[in-house]
Amino acid sequence: MIDQKSDKELAEIHENLQRLQDVINGFVAQWETMDPDPFRLAPAYTEWWAALMSNPQKFIDESMNFWKNSIELSHQAMMDFMTGEPSEPLVEAGRDKRFKHHDWNDQPYFSAIKQSYLLTSQWLRNLVSDVDGLDPHTAEKVQFFTERYIDAMSPSNFALTNPEVIEKTIESHGENLVHGMENMLADLEDGEGKLNIRITDTSAFTLGENVAVTPGKVVFQNRLFQLIQYAPATDKVLKRPLLIVPPWINKFYILDLQPENSFLKWATDQGHTVFVVSWVNPDENYADTEFADYLRDGVMTAVDAVQAATGEEQMNAIGYCIGGTLLASTLAYMKAKGDKRIASVTFFTTMLDFSEPGELGVFIDEEQVQAIEEKMATQGFLKGDSMAGAFNLMRANDLIWSCYVSNYLLGRDPRPFDLLYWNSDSTRMPNAMHSWYLRRLYMENALVKKEVEIDGILLDLSTVDIPVCFVSTVDDHIAPWKSTYMGAGCFGGPVEFILGSSGHIAGIVNPPAANKYSYRVIGGDTLPADSEAFLEQAEERPGSWWNHWNDWVYKASGSELVEARVPGDGALKPIEDAPGTYVRIRMKDSVPTLPFTRLPDPLPTAEPAPPEAPAEALLVPPPAVPAVPEAPQAQPAAAAASKAGATKQAGKKPQPQKPQPKKAPAKKAVSKEAVVDDLTKINGIGPAVRKLLAGEGITSFAQLAAMTPEQIRELLVSKDPRNKRFNPSSWPAQAGELKDD
């Protein structure tokens, strides 16, 4: 038995050593191709050192002061070791959670280590702050990354200088370090050689089972998103449905974590018909997808789909973070086209004016953006962990080093936490879109300068005059509230500004039942001139801002109620249960091929639909070339909304759009012998486009297959300039396949 047991143990040791060797080999292989300076710190610190040495008096003064304090600390430490009792500390740690263990204050050895670290930290901070001759961006970058270096060098991050780790090691006879090494190996394997520190137990959550469980149905899908309509929770609902546009840099279910903190469930409980956009997690086939595609094929198409599902020509909308930036751009685009279907809008932690981006700005300059673009060019997208790493660095002690100590030094397994599970569920960024977003918004601040052009339209936020509500949070590091406040002043209509407590996520996911935090509000629709004036005038109210927002949106909507809408009752039929397919795509997954939803043309209204209106949406195969987005389906709806807006301005009640009789030109009329194929089988061609082509004598797949995309586009635009929104890039290829069938 002893020999058998020994053989088993030897086999396990051999297996573990081989596993460790494989991980090390993977780490070394990755290190060989790893960018040693991804944040381009060398030029920044070179500039800082040159500026500091151009007037060395600051360096001399700070160093002399540091030397003096170090001598005093050494003398004090010697006396403390002799007496066995620590003296009054020279420098206090305050409420720093890293030093909460009693030995940091009670034991002379650890007290001296802590104070030495704090003194050195203060010396480094002083050296990089207020340096003459350094441009503001470089100064901010040097200060930020110096602080991250200080975080990394904390004595709490090392086993031999952390009293809690030493205590745990003695108690467990070293088992904590063994289990910690196992955790580290697992994280290295998961990161394929890169240390991917787990911040929560991801195995404890399953989408649709214990997170993202609010009942609903996917009722629309295309290449960029799935649209989820949630089941009603009340007999009557607000007449205007609610469309929510989350950011595409992470997943929508931040608003639907658990039933008790789900904004989506709470909104249905308040009588809203809730729709949410679930963005795709793009792979290399989306490399050329642009910001304009997210606007046209994303938000505009989602507006069409909500109208198709409910028959309502007006709706309320919410945009979260960069999803709000996209939504604001869409509003300016719709305003220029006379499309009034979004009647009120709310922005959660949304930046529009990027002149003061806060800490996130240290990651965005010409050198770093070029490096990101080079990385994206090779793979077609930016990996989600790159963005997650930047966000985690802004809270390094909470999201990196505390987990490092807990997982690896104390040997604990990560605890399940729904918010951190969501935080670990990263998404990829398409090459073209992300490059445009970084350059045009962050670096050039083009949106508020009225320099963003979509389809020949210069976007002007000041033309947007619908009721607007901003919700920001006081401790937001990603979208600083003072920056969001500047963006709130860009609109031309009434604006409500709500300042919540806490940060970018916890300040938004703050249900009333939790009775946490507070918020500040003035209550009027005219904002003070600047953020400081807002703080002076705002009233602080206890609890969550959710109810205040709900009162605002009901007032902005006229509070008219209708019978509850069940997903599938309208023109869009259920495709699958919420939360859908796209949200389940993880970092290493490719995008699955889904059939696209064809919207009815014309879109239904709340009035009785004309007899010829389609009864339900159809699912059609995706385009033959997956890298090219399907043609936007929003054009007919945008045109209808434009005509409806013009009718309303003339004092007339808008009427549902009805198909117009086809005009057959004498020379181009379709003869009886001509082949007539159903061109709507081509993804991107609806009944309206089919009629236009038929009017030009194009009725068969063969005719369309013989044309080039440029010829089709020229023909469409010659009939109506608004048709340039259509993308016929894949139509000839699809027509060729259908012709051969």
Quick: pLDDT tens for 128-166: 999 998 999 999 999 999 999 999 999 999 999 999 999
276-294 in b/e form (b: 16+ CB < 10 A) is bbbbbbbbebbbebbbbbb
The CA radius of gyration of the chain, in Å to the nearest whole number, is: 30
DSSP state of 288: T
pLDDT digits (tens, 9 = 90+) for 60-80: 999 999 999 999 999 988 888
User: How far is residue 170 CA from its own chain's centroid?
Assistant: 44
pLDDT digits (tens, 9 = 90+) for 271-293: 999 999 999 999 999 999 999 99
Say if residue 357 is preceded by a cis peptide, omega within 30 of 0.
no
Is residue 616 predicted with pLDDT exceeding 60? no
* Closest to 573 measured CA to CA, from 268, 221, 122, 323: 221
Task: Give the helix/strand (H/E) hosting 618.
Answer: strand 618-620
Mean pLDDT of all residues in 13-31 = 60
Q: How many other CB atoms sit within 10 Å of the CB of residue 246?
A: 25
Is residue 90 predicted with pLDDT exceeding 70? yes
**Low-confidence winner among 11-20, 362-371, 484-493 (lowest mean pLDDT):** 11-20
Interacting residues of 91 by C-beta distance below 8 A, sequence separation 6+: 69, 115, 118, 119, 122
Helix/strand/coil percentages in the chain, nearest 5? 50, 10, 40
Q: Which amino acid is at 489?
A: G
**Low-confidence winner among 219-228, 424-433, 536-545, 611-620 (lowest mean pLDDT):** 611-620
Q: Which amino acid is at 544?
A: S
Interacting residues of 440 by C-beta distance below 8 A, sequence separation 6+: 291, 446, 447, 451, 452
| pLDDT value at residue 741 | 66
The structure's pTM equals 0.77
pLDDT band, very low/low/confident/very high, at 222 (cuts 50, 70, 90): very high
* Closest to 229 measured CA to CA, from 465, 491, 569: 569
Tell me if residue 241 falls in helix, strand or coil. Answer: coil
Residues serving a catalytic function are 321
| pLDDT value at residue 44 | 92
Segments of 561-668 assigned E as strands = 561-563, 576-577, 596-598, 618-620
Is residue 43 predicted with pLDDT exceeding 80? yes
| pLDDT value at residue 641 | 39
Q: Calculate the dihedral angle through the C-alpha atoms of 637, 640, 645, 646, rounding to the nearest 10 degrees.
A: 150
| pLDDT value at residue 637 | 38
Is residue 636 predicted with pLDDT exceeding 80? no
Higher pLDDT, 326 or 529: 326
Give the CA angle between residues 406, 408, 411 to the nearest 5°: 70
Higher pLDDT, 276 or 180: 276
pLDDT band, very low/low/confident/very high, at 664 (cuts 50, 70, 90): very low
Question: Phi and psi dihedrals of 219, rounded to 5?
Answer: -115, -5
Asked if residues 225 and 298 have their Cβ atoms less than 8 Å apart, the reply is yes
pLDDT band, very low/low/confident/very high, at 15 (cuts 50, 70, 90): low
Q: Which amino acid is at 27?
A: F
| pLDDT value at residue 642 | 40
**Low-confidence winner among 114-128, 216-230, 496-510, 522-536 (lowest mean pLDDT):** 522-536
Asked if residues 485 and 468 have their Cβ atoms less than 8 Å apart, the reply is no
Please name the CATH architecture into which domain 217-355+450-563 falls: 3-Layer(aba) Sandwich (3.40)
Segments of 222-341 assigned E as strands = 225-230, 236-238, 242-245, 274-279, 315-320
Higher pLDDT, 412 or 620: 412
Is residue 648 predicted with pLDDT exceeding 50? no
| pLDDT value at residue 672 | 40
| pLDDT value at residue 351 | 97
Rounded Cα distance between 387 and 383, Å, is 7
| pLDDT value at residue 651 | 40
Q: What is the SS3 string spanning 106-122? A: HCHHHHHHHHHHHHHHH
* Closest to 61 measured CA to CA, from 126, 122, 119: 126
Rounded Cα distance between 138 and 47, Å, is 8
By CB neighbour count within 10 A (0-12 exposed, 13-18 middle, 19+ buried), where does 415 fall?
exposed
Delimit the domains of the chain by residue range: 18-153, 217-355+450-563, 602-740
Rounded Cα distance between 188 and 192, Å, is 6
Measured CA distances, 700 to 507, 658, 666, 677 (Å)? 56, 25, 19, 5
Asked if residues 263 and 546 have their Cβ atoms less than 8 Å apart, the reply is yes
Q: Which residue has the tokens 């920001």?
A: 472
Rounded Cα distance between 255 and 324, Å, is 14
| pLDDT value at residue 674 | 65
Mean pLDDT, rounded, of the chain:
85
* Closest to 476 measured CA to CA, from 396, 398, 387, 360: 360
Asked if residues 699 and 675 have their Cβ atoms less than 8 Å apart, the reply is yes
**Low-confidence winner among 123-137, 239-253, 641-655 (lowest mean pLDDT):** 641-655
Is residue 34 predicted with pLDDT exceeding 80? no
* Closest to 586 measured CA to CA, from 282, 381, 380: 282
| pLDDT value at residue 140 | 92
**Low-confidence winner among 433-447, 494-508, 656-670 (lowest mean pLDDT):** 656-670
pLDDT digits (tens, 9 = 90+) for 594-615: 999 999 989 998 754 444 333 3
Is residue 13 predicted with pLDDT exceeding 80? no
Mean pLDDT of all residues in 643-671 = 37
Interacting residues of 275 by C-beta distance below 8 A, sequence separation 6+: 227, 228, 229, 230, 241, 242, 243, 244, 302, 305, 306, 309
Mean pLDDT of all residues in 394-411 = 90
Q: Calculate the dihedral angle through the C-alpha atoms of 593, 594, 595, 600, rounding to the nearest 10 degrees.
A: -140
Is residue 718 predicted with pLDDT exceeding 90? no
